[in-house]
Structure formats: C-alpha cells, structure tokens
Amino acid sequence: MKESEMDQTLPLVSVIMPTYNHAAFIKESIESALSQSYEHLELIVIDNFSTDDTEQIVKSFINVDERIRYLAFRNHGIIAASRNFGIANSKGEFIAFLDSDDMWHPSKIEKQLAFFPDEGIVGVGTDATFISGTPHYRQIYYGRGQGGYIDYDYQHILRDNPIRTSSVLVRRDALLAVDGFDENPDFRFIEDWELWLRMAQGGSFRILEDRFLFYRVFTDKNRDMAESARRCFKVLERHLDLGYVNAEDTREATASINHSIARGLLRGDNPKCRQYFLKAIRGSSLHSKRLRALIGYLVSLLPPVFRQPTLSVLYAADKICRALRDLI
C-alpha cells in the first residue's frame, strides 16, 4: 500500500517492532500488522543487527508496502532502547508495540481505537491466545467486565500486571509525557511494567477481553524468571522514592513478586523456592494467591522425579479451567 492511498484524516498509528534473529517468525508478525482492518499505520522494524535473514525478509515487504520502515540499531541487550529508538522515529498520534514473534488479529487496532474517546484512558490492551511448545506457563485470568473490558488503575497494575506489551496501544502524548521506557539495566525484562505504572499515574489501562494478540511463549522467554522477578523490587523502591506509593500499598505487589521468584526457582528444582512461597503466603491477603503459593510449596516437597510431571499436569489443568471459563 502507498502512503498516498491512506485516509490522512484518520489518526496515524505507529507500530514499533524490535527484533533480533527472528527470521523464523517475523514474516507472520509483519503480515499481521500490515493486514489490519485499520490501514492508516506505519510499521517501524528496529533490528538489533540480526545475523540471520531478518533484514532480507523485512526489506521484501518494503518493496510492496510503503508503510514499513527498517532501521538498524544496536541496543546492547536493552530492548527498551530499541523501543525508544522506534518511538523517536515514529510519526503517529498513537503508538502500538508488536514483538517480532507475536501476531495480531486483523481487527485489533480498529477495535482498540474506539475506546480512546472515553475519559481517562491512556492505553488499551487485549487478552491473548498463547502459542507455546512448552507447558510451563500459566494463562492469567482477570475476570469479566460488563462492557467486555476491565479498567486497571495504578494500584491494580502494581499488584498484578495485566498488560502484555504486544497488545498495547497508547496515546503518544501520554507516552512521551513520562519519557518512554526506562533503559536502566535494573529494569531489564520488566521495563514495560515500570512504564505502565508511570503512565497509570495519568489514567487507566483498559484491557479488552477479546484475544486480539497471539502471544508466542518459549522456554527462553522465561529465562532467569527468578532474577527478573527480583528486579521488580527495584521498581517498588523507585516508586516509593517517587512518592507514588507507601509501604503498605506495596504489600500485595511484594507477595506477587515473591510468588514469581518462587515459581522461577521451582522450575530449576531449587529448594530455596520454599522460602519465597512461604513469603507469598504470609504476605498476600488474597485467598486465591495464597492457595497458588501453597500448591507451589507442596509441589516443591515432592521428590525431584515427580516435580516437573506434576507441574505439567497443573499447567494443563489451568488451561482447561481457562477454556471452561470462556464457555460460561
């Protein structure tokens, strides 16, 4: 599609796609962006100097669709830097993020844009369909809202982050008002959560129940899960220093972080997971969270040969429960 064929009266949406060595997936990701029912968009691919065929694949699209741009940028392992570089080179009134191994439903952007006239909405995300070759992930279920969505304010996002970056569409001015992603290495892998929290000081994130995102899960996407979870304490420290929260406000978030650390250690058969499960049980006021932590603690007591099979059964049961909820 040529830029001259787009309706210039509509707001432009800039899609930011960081990538590195994703030649096996990026074609599908690009196609899902360019085939949106809302056509007034630009797609900016930020390539961290891939060594596979990523560049060639992206440039093959440029030959037939002028809405896509390819930019090489070395991020030194900080994906936040790639996203910020893409934002700096974008022109849109709205910014969307799409990782180069994920995909969108064709009506995603169109459906999301319809909610921005509502007062106090700084961003709109969606639920996701998971694509995975590993059983070791948990499909999060946040309940149902009367309008087909749930609005999350700062405190909700602090306790449990419901926002998947590849699902998000945000106002550019709201994003720039908080200076985008923080490139501090302390926030590596959690820089998105930290950004949503800063943005939520100015409004709510609306999460649609429609699964407009196809989210690919790999074992290596959960690499250093315990270490990444520990970094979340750095976010709490920062927001305490900024005066956004007090110590009591962070209690539930602390329990969630301890639970995430415990799950990461459990996957590595590290017995230290038990102390974090116990911290999560003691720290949370939510029965459901305490029950999950208790189950994790009991699984950690099983002989090593039984732990991973038991975890696989539990994850499978969780997916079945999610499917049953969808039918209700």
Give pLDDT tens digits for 234-252: 999 999 999 999 999 999 9
Residue 49 has pLDDT above 50, yes or no: yes
Position 328 confidence tier, pLDDT thresholds 50, 70, 90 = low
Q: What is the mean pLDDT of residues 68-78?
A: 97
154: left (phi over 0), alpha (psi -120 to 50) or beta: alpha
Q: How far is CA 154 from CA 91, 129, 157, 199, in A?
A: 28, 25, 5, 8
Position 144 confidence tier, pLDDT thresholds 50, 70, 90 = low
Position 313 confidence tier, pLDDT thresholds 50, 70, 90 = confident
How do residues 182-197 score in pLDDT, each as one tens digit?
A: 999 999 999 999 999 9
Position 297 confidence tier, pLDDT thresholds 50, 70, 90 = very high
Q: Which domains does the chain have, with CATH numbers?
A: 3-221 (3.90.550.10), 224-327 (no CATH)
d(CA 98, CA 169): 10
Tell me the DSSP string of 242-297.
TTS--TGGGHHHHHHHHHHHHHHHHHTT-TTHHHHHHHHHHH---HHHHHHHHHHH
pLDDT for the residue numbered 312: 78
Residue 15 has pLDDT above 60, yes or no: yes
Position 305 confidence tier, pLDDT thresholds 50, 70, 90 = confident
Q: What is the mean pLDDT of residues 44-65?
A: 96
d(CA 35, CA 19): 19
Question: When comparing pLDDT for 157 and 217, which is higher?
Answer: 157
Residue 180 has pLDDT above 50, yes or no: yes
Position 1 confidence tier, pLDDT thresholds 50, 70, 90 = low
Position 307 confidence tier, pLDDT thresholds 50, 70, 90 = confident
Residue 78 has pLDDT above 80, yes or no: yes
Q: What is the mean pLDDT of residues 125-129?
A: 93
Residue 154 has pLDDT above 90, yes or no: yes
d(CA 193, CA 196): 5
Average pLDDT, the chain: 90
pLDDT for the residue numbered 225: 84
Of the CA atoms within 13 Å of residue 194, those in its CB half-sphere come to: 27
Lowest mean pLDDT among 20-34, 131-145, 166-180: 131-145
d(CA 157, CA 155): 6
Residue 137 has pLDDT above 60, yes or no: no
Residue 59 has pLDDT above 80, yes or no: yes
DSSP 12: P
Q: What is the mean pLDDT of residues 299-324?
A: 79
Q: What is the mean pLDDT of residues 85-93?
A: 97
Residues with Cβ within 8 Å of 29's Cβ and at least 6 positions away in sequence, in order, are 17, 22, 98, 99, 100, 101, 102, 103
